[in-house]
Amino acid sequence: MNLLEINSITKRYGDYTVIDGFSLSIKNGELRCLLGPNGAGKTTCLDLISGRQPLSGGSIFLNGVDITSSNEHQIARRGIGRKFQIPAVFKELSVMDNLEVAYGKEKGPFYNMFDPGNSSRNKKIQEISELIGLQDRLNVISGVLSHGETQWLEIGMVLMQDPNLMLMDEPTAGMTEKETYKTSQIFNSLKGRHTLIVVEHDMSFVREIADTITVMHMGQLLAEGSISEIENNKKVRAVYLGTEGIH
C-alpha cells in the first residue's frame, strides 16, 4: 500500500481551474520532487493534501484512510507536516523554545504528567538540532538567525512532530549555494525514515535529493520519472525547461 494516494483531484475558483484531475502515488519512505512552471498548481496541491483548502473533486488517501473531507488540524494529527515558502518560526523565542513548542503541539496537554523530566523531549531536541546543524545555536533568539538557519529551524520544527509525510514548499528559497548543499544533506538523511514531497525550483538541489520527479503543467500531470528521464522528456522541455534543458 502506498502512503499517499491522490486520485483525480480538482480545485476550482469559480470558472478558473487550478488543479485539473491530478493524480499522484507516493511510497512510504520516498522523496518526491514536484516541479512545474509558476502557476502549475504545485503549492495548491500541497494545500489540498494538508487540508488547508477543500477539494472541488477527487479524493486523497493517507495510509489507506480517506482524508478528503478532513480539516487541516485532523490531517496534521494523522501525520502530515508542512513547511511553507516563508518560514513560520517564533522570532522572539530561542531555537530551543521553537523546537519545544513544535513538540508540545503534538503531545497534548497532559504529556508532561507522564514525562516529568521531559527526557523524551530533550532527547528529541538534541537529535533534531544536530540533524539541522543548530545544536550550538539552541539558546540563540530565532530572530537573529540567518535566512538559511531560519529555514533549517522550521524544518526541525516539522520534524519535532515526527510526521509520516512532510510537505516542503521551496525549502531552499533565498539560500546561498553552501546552505543549499547542506539542506540537500539534511533531506537525504531523512529518506526512508520520513516520506517527503518537495516543491522546488533549484534544479541542482533537485538533482541531489530526488528519487522521482513529478512535473505539473496547468494543474495536470505532465511527466514523471527520474532526473534523466525528465531532462530528456520532449513535453517537459517544450513547456518548462526550454531548449537548453535543466541547469
Task: Map out the domains of the chain as residue ranges.
Answer: 1-79+167-247, 85-162
Report whether pLDDT(3) > 90: yes
Determine the pLDDT at residue 238.
86
* Weakest mean pLDDT among 53-57, 103-107, 142-146: 103-107
Report whether pLDDT(148) > 50: yes
Task: Annotate 175-213 with three-state secondary structure.
Answer: CCHHHHHHHHHHHHHHECCEEEEEECCCHHHHHHHCCEE
**For 13-39, what is the mean pLDDT?**
94
Report whether pLDDT(192) > 90: no
**For 216-230, what is the mean pLDDT?**
94
- Fold observed for domain 1-79+167-247: Rossmann fold (3.40.50)
Q: Give the other-Cβ count within 10 Å of 53's Cβ.
A: 17
Determine the pLDDT at residue 105.
58
Average pLDDT, the chain: 89
Query: What is the distance between the alpha carbons of residues 22 and 224, in angstroms, rounded to a whole number?
Result: 12
Q: How far is CA 45 from the centre of its chain?
A: 11
pTM given for the model: 0.88
Q: Identify which of 164, 176, 156 has the alpha carbon closest to the alpha carbon of residue 78.
A: 164
Taking the CA atoms of the chain, what radius of gyration do you get in angstroms? 18
